[in-house]
Structures are given as structure tokens and as C-alpha cells.
Amino acid sequence: MSTTFQIDTATSRANPTPAPLRRLTVPTIRARKRDGVTAEPVVMLTAYTARQAQLLDAHCDVLLVGDSLGQVIYGLPSTIPVTLAMMANHAAAVVRGSYHAVVTVDMPFGSYEQSPQQAFENATYLLKSSGAAAVKLEGGTAMAETVSFLTQRGIPVMGHVGLTPQAVNVLGGYMARGRSDAEAQKIVGDAKALDEAGAFAIVVEGVVEPIAIETTQAVSCLTIGIGGSAQCDGQVLVTEDMLGMFERVPRFVKRYDNIAEVIEGAVSRYAEDVRNRTFPGPEQTYQPK
């Protein structure tokens, strides 16, 4: 399958001409779960740049512009410092690079927790400035009123329960959740509250498998697992993690390749060519006619 759109000569490689194809919608994806059964699991990956979106788009139902870009792109220690402007810029790039998947953008820490009104103002900014179709926010019962406020005003919301990285300072780390009865009940209760509030999907992150399964069975909307269970209604991973870009990844990551090795190999060959003066060669240089 070609991974590049047909480029019309009037455009740069940053502005490819999209092949005509209809973009999936939130209702189409949401409708995959019927009477508690999802025949076709939802494929979701993170994307932060236009070219990355081009490569992932045809294979994914949802591209998530995750606030994990704080760590992955900006080298920050957590998602806490990520700003609305960062999210808006990367979401716009991902929308430009895709024409098929539903682009969902994370609301960063501090941009939605204060009130439904604050969340509405910042969610509309994200959607208007990027063209994304939905927002994702972390938290359960405490966010239910906000989720209802947004969805009733035209903003599709994906929730996020279990291990919620923006709450790292409260949780005390990134360990799996749902090991105690109290934690397990809270996760299922949070997911139910988001479902009733109108979330179209809920990310279930870092949750012991039986509770991820119970959560999936307890809600009518889709659950998207990451460190959850294959029985969730879909799966998501951070793309750089599954490609093998980083040495240290959470236990729930399956590495599908070793892109770091590929990059290092190519760069070391390039450096050798430059030092030996074998690059550029005749094919890469312009000669007088």
C-alpha cells in the first residue's frame, strides 16, 4: 500500500493532495459497539506530526494527538507542562496529514478541570484551530458534568480512566491500577459515569486485566485499552513506543520494530560518508550543462 498521498506538483511535500476518501466519524466508530459487542476493534495510535499521520492514517480508525508528546517530542519529564498551544499546533499538523482517521486531541493538564465552561472554551479552541473531531480528557466521575456539558454542545469526548498520567503527582507514579477492591470499584464507577455523561469512548490505561474486562462490559460506549485487555473494544499505543524508538517503555508496550537501530545505522553511515568525502556523490550534485 502506498503510504504517500498523490502529490500534485503545485504542492510541497508538506501539502500533499489527499486522495479522495471519506473520513470516518465519531458516530460511525461509536456504532461499532452494539449490545455490548464490538465486531471490529478500534485501531488507535498516537500521532504528532503531519508525515507521521500520513503513514499511520490508512491503518487506523483514530489518530490520537496525545499529550504524551510532552515526553516523546519535547523531552519533558511528564505531561504536566504541556500547553494548549502545543496541542493545537500538533493537532493541526496531524489533521493536515490525514484524511481517513478520526483525529482526537488531548486536553492538556489545567485546561479543563476548573469548570465545564473552562473546558468548553479550551476544547472549542483546540477543535477550531486544528480541525480535529474530538477531544480526550482524563478523569472519571469528577469529570462527568464536564463531559455532559461538552457533548451536549457539539464536542465529542473520549474519557480516560485507570492510570491517568496527568494525575501522576496524586497517584505517586505510573504503576498499574485496580489491584485493590477500592481502586477496582473506582475505575468501573468512573467509566460508568463517563458513559452516562455521553463519552463516545474511554481509554482504559494500566488496569489489571479482569477490571479492564469488567469496565468494558459495564459501559455501552467503546473502551480503548492500553495496558488493559485484548477484550477491550479497541487498543492504543504510543507510536514511538511500538516502533522501538525508546529503550525504556512500559510493560504493556509490544515493540513491532526497532526504529532507533534503523536511525542510528543510517546516521552513522551518513557521518562516515561525510567524513570520507564520499557524500555527496555524482547522483547528488549538479554539473554545468
Catalytic residues: 205
Site string for ligand KIV, 192-231 (x = CB under 6 A): -----------x-x--------------------x-----
Contacts of 154 (CB under 8 A, 6+ apart): none
Q: Which residue from 237, 239, 215, 235 is spatially nearest to 225, judged by alpha carbons?
A: 235
Distance CA 52, CA 179 (A): 36
Segment contacting ligand KIV (CB under 6 A): 59-67, 86-94, 119-127, 248-256? Answer: 59-67
Residue 236 contacts ligand KIV per CB under 6 A: yes
Residue with smaller CB distance to ligand KIV, 5 or 211: 211
Residue 107 contacts ligand KIV per CB under 6 A: no
Distance CA 236, CA 20 (A): 26
Q: Closest approach of Cβ 64 to ligand KIV, in Å? A: 6
Q: Which residue from 23, 30, 19 is spatially nearest to 101, judged by alpha carbons?
A: 23
Residue 157 contacts ligand KIV per CB under 6 A: no
Residue with smaller CB distance to ligand KIV, 18 or 209: 209
Residue 151 host element (H or E): helix 144-151
C-beta of residue 161 within 8 angstroms of C-beta of residue 122: no
Instruction: Tell me: cis bond preceding 280? Omega within 30 of 0 counts.
Output: yes
Contacts of 83 (CB under 8 A, 6+ apart): 108
DSSP letter for each residue of 160-222: EEES-GGGHHHH-SS--B--SHHHHHHHHHHHHHHHHHT-SEEEEESB-HHHHHHHHHH-SSE
From candidates 5, 90, 104, 106, binder to ligand KIV by CB under 6 A = 106
Contacts of 114 (CB under 8 A, 6+ apart): none
C-beta of residue 223 within 8 angstroms of C-beta of residue 233: yes
From candidates 46, 54, 104, 239, binder to ligand KIV by CB under 6 A = 46
The number of residues that bind ligand KIV (CB under 6 A) is 11
Residue with smaller CB distance to ligand KIV, 16 or 242: 242
Segment contacting ligand KIV (CB under 6 A): 19-27, 60-68, 88-96, 260-268? Answer: 60-68
**Phi (first) and psi of residue 46, to 5 degrees:** -80, 150
Q: Closest approach of Cβ 29 to ligand KIV, in Å? A: 16
Residue 238 contacts ligand KIV per CB under 6 A: yes
In the complex, which residue's CB is closest to ligand KIV? Answer: 66
Segment contacting ligand KIV (CB under 6 A): 50-58, 61-69, 189-197, 227-235? Answer: 61-69
Residue 61 contacts ligand KIV per CB under 6 A: no
From candidates 57, 67, 233, 240, binder to ligand KIV by CB under 6 A = 67
Binding site for ligand KIV (CB under 6 A): 46, 64, 66-68, 106, 203, 205, 226, 236, 238
